[in-house]
Structure 1
Amino acid sequence: MIRDQELLDQLVDTIARFVRERLIPSEAQVADDDEIPATLLEEMKEMGLFGLSIPEAYGGLGLTMEEEAYVVFEIGKTSPAFRSRFGTNNGIGAQGILIDGTEAQKAKYVPALASGEIISAFCLTEPDAGSDAASLCTTAVRDGDHYVLNGTKRFITNGPEANLFTVMARTDPAQKGARGITAFIVEGDAPGLSRGSADHKMGQKGAHTCDIIFDDCRVPAENIIGGREGVGFKTAMKVLDRGRLHISALCAGVAERLIEESLSYAMERRQFGVPLAEHQLIQAMLADSKTEAYAGRTMVLDAARRKDAGENVSTLASCCKLFCSEMVGRVADRAVQIHGGAGYMAEYAVERFYRDVRLFRIYEGTTQIQQLVIARNMVKEAS
């Protein structure tokens, strides 16, 4: 749902210019240094990027899902590292508090999330619990007015920088599945919380992950999201639809950037006496990429509008995540192929994006998990 087309157009144009003039020229530096410059982070905060989906009442921009999609299409045209830093504040780092948190929790934490004063992270995955998230082993034992957390969370986006964590822990050891899991808000300086060294990843340099370790970490009982034990997994699932649509929009935006890079190179590079773009096999790759990117963008916008209209879009969000994350991988592969030997060289953006986009098929639910979600929902609806 677009509430004011003119205002949205102005916002999208402003972000597109910021991406083009400030972020894209910094991509190589971020990749080399594995760090986003502090000046760019401050500009991102000033633009409101940390509060895109946070309601205006808490200092955010309060974008609808459709409006957010248009913004993320533009953000996707630069290195995913930039989006990674503010993405959790808009998604899994804040939405659980917004959806199920108490009014006191929202008032205390959400405005600082919207401004970027607080960087958030979402702690669900563990060394032995990834796609099977309901099997997590981190425990939380009541001790007076506190809970004592023990366990390790793995591959936590923004782990090295975050100062607020949404943590899923098991409060009822008798319940082996999802029912025994509770969601906690844990501040970054909580006693007993420590961070592992930053992970060395295939791609997405500048976007950091690490282990988050809880060793008799004491958390106030009032920091249970919503004040209720045993519903944490439900909270986690509630935030996934928006997160999966957000990532899908990002994939579509990255695909469009890769197509721009491929087309530009194919028009400039000459082989057999003519530009690459005049060779039919190159044209086929360009055409396939354009078609798939258009399909992904259209899917995201349709699902976003349905979500804004109040429909249950769990199946559609998984369809978008499945298609768009796989689609951008194919587009990246074609982009490298169109560039030929140059596409294997780090001086060209397509080499970096080829590595960056591989992660999209894994986080926010792997491709295989999306397939299971879609098929199971289909069977449930049919029966």
Structure 2
Amino acid sequence: MEFKISEAQREMIVAVRALAQTEFRRDAAKWMDGTFPWPNMKRLAELGVLGMSVPEEYGGLGLSILDSALILEEIAKVDYVTAMAVLGEAGVQTRVISHYAPKAIKERILPRVVSGDCILAICMTEPDAGTDVANYRTNTVRKGNHLVLNGAKTLISRAEEAGMFVVFTRVEGKPGREGIGCVLVERGTPGLAVTGTYHTMGGENLHEVQFNDVELPPENLVIEEDGFRKLLTAFNTQRCLNPSISLGLAEGAFDEAVSYVKERKIFGKAIASSQGIRWKFADMFREIEAARGLLYRACMTASPFPDPIMAATAKVFCNEMSIRVTSEAIQVHGGYGFTDEYPVSRLFRGARYGSLGGGSSESLRDLVGKRILEGADLTDGILSLDTY
């Protein structure tokens, strides 16, 4: 097996890294109050990055999920808030539109995603249901020649800025998971309201979104038949891109810690000369590289969406690895690591989000465990799971 990024991927990484390590690094603390990083999004649009998941026919780059993960990883090394903003353009919402929306909607929305003029928000979590999709109450019904959407979503990223909302909804009140579909709601539609704001420890704001008798054209129901399977299949994209941010945060904290221990002295010597400190870095490096291998492999299973078991496995490992590594980076900074003067505290706060969004670690462990016990056999063992 050859595990090597292409020259085109390397050039892309270098371009994004140059932007992130200069402009984004300099201003990263500015966005911690919940301000949306519009200047950064503008610069990324100029670079073409916001169109990474948009097909070329609509002005995008049509990049793979691995390419998207590599880009988000570079941004997250210095700026969690901007990485999360870009996740909306690279993630499942863009791919749902690209794969399932009518051509007229694609032509209207996707070029605006590429230019940075249309931010996308995905609306899943409800006040009484997060992972428990089967208990969603948001509902869409047909009424005459249009659709009517009612319900509420909570903890929604980018809601204040979004030009389009990709909404997971029940269709015609059909119960259970089989009743879940997807509608598109454009900002400014009567009955749509962004009502509540939650400021997060990572710096970004999350919001509540209300849909009160929102009337939509029938073509805005982009997924209905076999909707739950299609949505969850597409959502495996998020389970590769969320952990790419976790990986980037860990790498950024690791780099900050390396620089610090080489310069910081104790008893007349750089603390990097301590065996105990060197062992910490060996452990952090091992965890980062193990996470990288799992994540990149999961991304490479995409056709067009990633394998659900590999994506879930990579997500759990990367999310939890990031918490451990960013925490250790704070530890080697000593008391300074606990202050806002050093980036490691900001990176640690961002890392805590990963295992909460896009499927909790607990729910994904259960998913993987079920697949193992149902799919593995005594003859082929783990190879029978078809994840290799």
Name the TM-score class by shorter chain.
Answer: over 0.9
Q: Tell whether the 8 Å contact from 2:191 to 2:213 is kept in structure 1 after alignment.
A: yes
| 1:158-198: CA deviation from partner (whole Å, max 9, x where unpaired) | 0111010111222232x321111221011111110000132
**What is the match of residue 52 of structure 1?**
52
Deviation, 1:27, is 0.8
Deviation, 1:218, is 1.2
| 1:127-168: CA deviation from partner (whole Å, max 9, x where unpaired) | 001011221001222211122211110011101110101112
Q: Please, which moves more after superposition, 255-264 or 34-43?
A: 34-43
Residue 212 of structure 2 aligns to which amino acid in structure 1?
A: D
Identity %: 31
Q: 1:356 aligns with which of 350, 358, 361?
A: 350
Distance between the aligned counterparts of 1:354 and 1:286, measured in 2? Answer: 16
Q: How does 1:172-191 map to 2 (within 5 A)?
A: 172-173=172-173, 175-191=174-190
Residue 365 of structure 1 aligns to which amino acid in structure 2?
A: G
Q: Could you say if the C-alpha distance between residues 297 and 156 of structure 1 is closer, same or farther in structure 2, counting changes exceeding 3 Å?
A: same
Q: Could you say if the C-alpha distance between residues 377 and 104 of structure 1 is closer, same or farther in structure 2, counting changes exceeding 3 Å?
A: farther
Residue 69 of structure 1 aligns to which amino acid in structure 2?
A: A
Deviation, 1:3, is 12
Distance between the aligned counterparts of 1:147 and 1:24, measured in 2? Answer: 45
| 1:314-362: CA deviation from partner (whole Å, max 9, x where unpaired) | 1101110000000000001101111111111111111111111100011
**What is the match of residue 118 of structure 2?**
118
**What is the match of residue 323 of structure 2?**
329
Q: Please, which moves more after superposition, 68-77 or 364-373?
A: 68-77
- 1:258 matched to 2:253: yes
Q: 1:240 aligns with which of 232, 235, 238?
A: 235
- 1:19 matched to 2:20: yes
Q: Could you say if the C-alpha distance between residues 116 and 161 of structure 1 is closer, same or farther in structure 2, counting changes exceeding 3 Å?
A: same
Q: 2:213 aligns with which of 211, 216, 226?
A: 216
Deviation, 1:274, is 1.8
Q: How does 1:75-154 map to 2 (within 5 A)?
A: 75-154=75-154
Q: Tell whether the 8 Å contact from 2:196 to 2:208 is kept in structure 1 after alignment.
A: yes
SS of the equivalent of 1:214 reads strand
Q: Tell whether the 8 Å contact from 1:140 to 1:147 is kept in structure 2 after alignment.
A: yes
Runs of 4+ aligned residues of structure 1 deviating over 4 Å after TM superposition are 1-4
SS of the equivalent of 1:131 reads coil
SS of the equivalent of 2:300 reads helix
Q: Tell whether the 8 Å contact from 1:266 to 1:276 is kept in structure 2 after alignment.
A: yes
SS of the equivalent of 2:93 reads coil
**What is the match of residue 222 of structure 2?**
225
Distance between the aligned counterparts of 1:176 and 1:36, measured in 2? Answer: 37
Q: 1:267 aligns with which of 253, 262, 265?
A: 262
Residue 220 of structure 1 aligns to which amino acid in structure 2?
A: P
SS of the equivalent of 2:162 reads coil
Q: Tell whether the 8 Å contact from 1:171 to 1:230 is kept in structure 2 after alignment.
A: no
Q: Tell whether the 8 Å contact from 1:303 to 1:316 is kept in structure 2 after alignment.
A: yes
Residue 232 of structure 1 aligns to which amino acid in structure 2?
A: G
Q: Could you say if the C-alpha distance between residues 222 and 36 of structure 1 is closer, same or farther in structure 2, counting changes exceeding 3 Å?
A: closer
Distance between the aligned counterparts of 2:102 and 2:364, measured in 1? Answer: 31
| 1:217-240: CA deviation from partner (whole Å, max 9, x where unpaired) | 1111221005xx354323321222
SS of the equivalent of 1:189 reads coil
Distance between the aligned counterparts of 1:14 and 1:200, measured in 2? Answer: 31
Q: Tell whether the 8 Å contact from 1:245 to 1:304 is kept in structure 2 after alignment.
A: yes
Distance between the aligned counterparts of 1:352 and 1:335, measured in 2? Answer: 11
Q: Could you say if the C-alpha distance between residues 294 and 2 of structure 1 is closer, same or farther in structure 2, counting changes exceeding 3 Å?
A: closer
SS of the equivalent of 1:198 reads strand
Distance between the aligned counterparts of 1:124 and 1:37, measured in 2? Answer: 23
Distance between the aligned counterparts of 1:65 and 1:29, measured in 2? Answer: 29
Deviation, 1:2, is 10
Q: 1:297 aligns with which of 270, 280, 292?
A: 292
Q: Tell whether the 8 Å contact from 1:120 to 1:163 is kept in structure 2 after alignment.
A: yes
| 1:241-276: CA deviation from partner (whole Å, max 9, x where unpaired) | 222111222221211111111111111111233211
Q: Could you say if the C-alpha distance between residues 230 and 172 of structure 1 is closer, same or farther in structure 2, counting changes exceeding 3 Å?
A: farther
Q: Tell whether the 8 Å contact from 1:50 to 1:87 is kept in structure 2 after alignment.
A: no
Residue 234 of structure 2 aligns to which amino acid in structure 1?
A: V
Deviation, 1:313, is 1.4
**What is the match of residue 381 of structure 2?**
none
Distance between the aligned counterparts of 1:275 and 1:133, measured in 2? Answer: 52
Distance between the aligned counterparts of 1:37 and 1:92, measured in 2? Answer: 21
Q: Tell whether the 8 Å contact from 1:139 to 1:171 is kept in structure 2 after alignment.
A: yes
**What is the match of residue 382 of structure 2?**
none
Residue 295 of structure 2 aligns to which amino acid in structure 1?
A: V
Q: How many residues align structurally?
A: 376
Residue 331 of structure 2 aligns to which amino acid in structure 1?
A: Q
Distance between the aligned counterparts of 1:249 and 1:37, measured in 2? Answer: 19
Deviation, 1:215, is 1.1
Q: Tell whether the 8 Å contact from 1:65 to 1:242 is kept in structure 2 after alignment.
A: yes
SS of the equivalent of 2:121 reads strand
Distance between the aligned counterparts of 1:65 and 1:37, measured in 2? Answer: 23
Q: Could you say if the C-alpha distance between residues 112 and 257 of structure 1 is closer, same or farther in structure 2, counting changes exceeding 3 Å?
A: same
Deviation, 1:311, is 8.8
Residue 245 of structure 2 aligns to which amino acid in structure 1?
A: L
Q: Please, which moves more after superposition, 338-347 or 35-44?
A: 35-44
**What is the match of residue 374 of structure 1?**
368
- Scaled by the length of structure 2, the TM-score of the pair is 0.91
- Scaled by the length of structure 1, the TM-score of the pair is 0.92
Unmatched tracts of structure 2, length 5 or more? 378-388
